[in-house]
Amino acid sequence: MIVLKNIQQAQVIFKNIRTKRQTIGFVPTMGALHNAHEQIILRSKKESSVTVVSIFVNPLQFGPKEDFNKYPKPFNKDLSICKKLKVDYVFAPTIKQMYPDKIVYTNISVKKYTGILCDKFRPGHFNGVATVVTKLFNIINPTKAYFGEKDYQQLLVIKQLVKDLNFTIDIVPCETFREPDGLAFSSRNKYLSKTERNQANVIYKSLLYCKQLILTKKFSLSKCINYSKIFLNKNILLPHKIQYFEIYDNNLSPVNNDVKQIKPNTTLRIFVAVYLGKTRLIDNMPVNI
């Protein structure tokens, strides 16, 4: 395993790999690697000649009141995980390498999927994601890039970015990996106290509950949402806040409130964001009508 921190050096190495007609699988991360990252890395290794994992906590995607400074950065542990999984290259640039002028004069903004879900509550977040991903794509120029469905809105933003900017990169969606009790793996799970962690699986249960209500076709979507919020509030006994609980189709377009009017074989998706104490957790679940 080779660790690269210099952009110019990385570009030369990855260009040489492509010259040899080898495929590059790219797994972008902000470090604090967990089991879901490991599963995605293993998939890349199966599907690509060379696997590259980036570790970079991108300041552009954190708001002024968000957790950039306390975001977990266990770099040595992350390297040991990558080494265990036989990752070929870890690209771990510094902030100075990625943003040498300190001020970022060029921002990438994907106008689709704005004003809803996470974008509504984290203005500028997806601009930061799109900007850093564009830079990483230009540096690494992978064949495939792997993104988790847990961050579903982000996945669609990246797909649109690749389409609009004509990147010849295959974006590979990866299923949401969960802990045994259903809680989606997330680097932010480390923020949870023991009591918060014990109750956090209610978020997953609320998605299952909402899905079951939808599939009965006895209730409008708005009632399914309201009942699910009640379920959440009753079962999370510690301080919490539901930021959003919403339903869209698989392209994040609004859907008919009357489930019986929705076309058969339509895939809906339930989205939730909840604060447990100070920790914000998101999750989503597909529902096939």
- One digit per residue, the tens of pLDDT, for the chain of length 289 reads 999 999 999 999 999 999 999 999 999 999 999 999 999 999 999 999 999 999 999 999 998 878 788 899 999 999 999 999 999 999 999 999 999 998 899 999 999 999 999 999 999 999 999 999 999 999 999 999 999 999 999 999 999 999 999 999 999 999 999 999 999 999 999 999 999 999 999 999 999 999 999 999 999 999 999 999 999 999 999 999 999 999 999 999 999 999 999 999 999 999 999 999 999 999 999 999 9
Predicted local distance difference test score (pLDDT) of residue 64: 83
DSSP state of 77: H
Predicted local distance difference test score (pLDDT) of residue 67: 78
Q: Which of 282, 220, 218 is nearest to 245 (CA)?
A: 282
Q: Which residues contact 94 (CB under 8 A, 6 or more apart)?
A: 5
Buried b (16+ CB within 10 A) or exposed e, 13-26: bbeebeeeeebbbb
Instruction: Kindly report the pTM of this predicted structure.
Output: 0.96
Predicted local distance difference test score (pLDDT) of residue 164: 98
Predicted local distance difference test score (pLDDT) of residue 263: 92
By the 8 A CB rule, do 284 and 273 touch? no
Q: Which CATH architecture has domain 187-288?
A: 2-Layer Sandwich (3.30)
Q: Helices 125-140 and 152-164: crossing angle, nearest 10°? A: 50
Residue for token digits 């080898």? 22
Predicted local distance difference test score (pLDDT) of residue 15: 97
Predicted local distance difference test score (pLDDT) of residue 53: 99
Predicted local distance difference test score (pLDDT) of residue 65: 78
Predicted local distance difference test score (pLDDT) of residue 153: 98
Domains 2-174 and 187-288 share a fold: no
For residue 71 the two structure tokens come to 């975001």
CATH number of the domain located at residue range(s) 2-174 in this protein: 3.40.50.620
Pairwise CA distance, residues 6 & 252, whole Å? 38
For residue 53 the two structure tokens come to 């994992």
Predicted local distance difference test score (pLDDT) of residue 154: 98
Predicted local distance difference test score (pLDDT) of residue 79: 98
Residue ranges of domains in the chain: 2-174, 187-288
Predicted local distance difference test score (pLDDT) of residue 109: 97
Active site residue: 34, 37, 125, 240, which one?
37
Active site residue 37: yes
Q: Which of 120, 123, 144, 154 is nearest to 30 (CA)?
A: 154
DSSP state of 14: H
Please provide the distance, in angstroms rounded to a whole number, between the alpha carbons at the two ends of the chain: 45
Strand partners, 25: 51, 144
Predicted local distance difference test score (pLDDT) of residue 157: 98
